[in-house]
Structure 1
Amino acid sequence: MLTKLAHVTLYVRDCEEALQFYTEKLGFEKRMDSRMDNGSRWLTIGLPNQEVEIVLHDPTHWHREEVADQMLALVGKNPMWVWQTEDFAGTYEAFRQKGVPFLTEPHDVMYGTEAVFTDLYGNQYLLLQTASV
């Protein structure tokens, strides 16, 4: 029986630039960073006080060339993830000041306030503050 979601994988072209974006612009923390002799790297990040870790995965050294090429073709094409905040205005402004690109302006919806932003590869994320019940 499944007990929890532990990791999700995000394909990246460059682990270091991805690490810099997610830690410096979005406030994630580095959790694990192990380098293997073959050049591969196990790099995970997470939000403070949250167990789930995101694997920043550059498949170049992990997989055969044709498999790595298929994975690299998926960079920037992840399904949208929803990131929740308790301070929409403050988080939105902090992200904007750090150069996080937003595709939509903040707007109110029946379940809260939201805006769509992207990472350095074009993956889309929804910033959401849920409405008070």
Structure 2
Amino acid sequence: MLKKLAHVTLYVRDCEEALCFYTEKLGFEKRMDSRMDNGSRWLTIGLPDQELEIVLHDPTHWHSEEVAEQMLAQVGKNPMWVWETDDFYATYETFRQKGVTFLGEPRDVMYGTEAVFTDLYGNQYLLLQAVSFA
């Protein structure tokens, strides 16, 4: 029986630049950062008070050249993730001031307020403050 989702992997071209983007612009914290003898790096980030970890994975040193090239071809093509916030406009303005690119203006929809933003590789994320239907 499945217990929980523990890690999701995000392919990156450069672990250090990805770490800087996610920690400095979006407020993630570094969780694990281990370097192996072969040059590979196990690097994870997460949101404070959330167990789920995102693996920032540069496949260059982990896999054969052919497999690494296939994985690197997927950089920027991640499915959209939805990130919830309790204060949409404060989060939106903080992200904009830190240079995060939004693909449009915030909009009110039946389930809340949303806007799509991108990371440094072009992956799209939805910032959402959901309304309560209770």
Matched, 1:132 2:132: yes
Q: Hey, which bits of structure 1, 4+ residues long, moved more than 4 A?
A: none
Q: TM-score, normalised by structure 1?
A: 0.99
- Mapping of residues 48-67 of structure 1, within 5 Å: 48-67=48-67
SS of residue in 2 equivalent to 1:108: strand
> Partner of 1:44 in structure 2?
44
Rounded Cα–Cα distance in structure 2 between residues aligned with 1:79 and 1:72: 15
> Partner of 2:15 in structure 1?
15
Q: Cα RMSD between the aligned structures?
A: 0.5
> Partner of 1:96 in structure 2?
96
Q: What whole-Å deviation, never above 9, does each CA across 1:22-80 have from its counterpart, x for those lacking one?
A: 00000000000000010000000000000000000000000000000000000000000
> Partner of 1:30 in structure 2?
30
SS of residue in 2 equivalent to 1:70: helix
Rounded Cα–Cα distance in structure 1 between residues aligned with 2:69 and 2:31: 27
Residue 129 (structure 1) shift: 0.1
> Partner of 2:73 in structure 1?
73
SS of residue in 2 equivalent to 1:104: coil
SS of residue in 1 equivalent to 2:102: coil
Q: What percentage of aligned pairs have identical amino acids? A: 86
Rounded Cα–Cα distance in structure 2 between residues aligned with 1:21 and 1:129: 22
Which letter maps to 1:131?
V
Unpaired stretches in structure 2, ≥5 consecutive residues: none
> Partner of 1:5 in structure 2?
5
SS of residue in 1 equivalent to 2:86: coil
Residue 131 (structure 1) shift: 1.2
Rounded Cα–Cα distance in structure 1 between residues aligned with 2:54 and 2:64: 22
> Partner of 1:120 in structure 2?
120
SS of residue in 2 equivalent to 1:42: strand
Residue 104 (structure 1) shift: 1.4
Rounded Cα–Cα distance in structure 2 between residues aligned with 1:104 and 1:7: 29
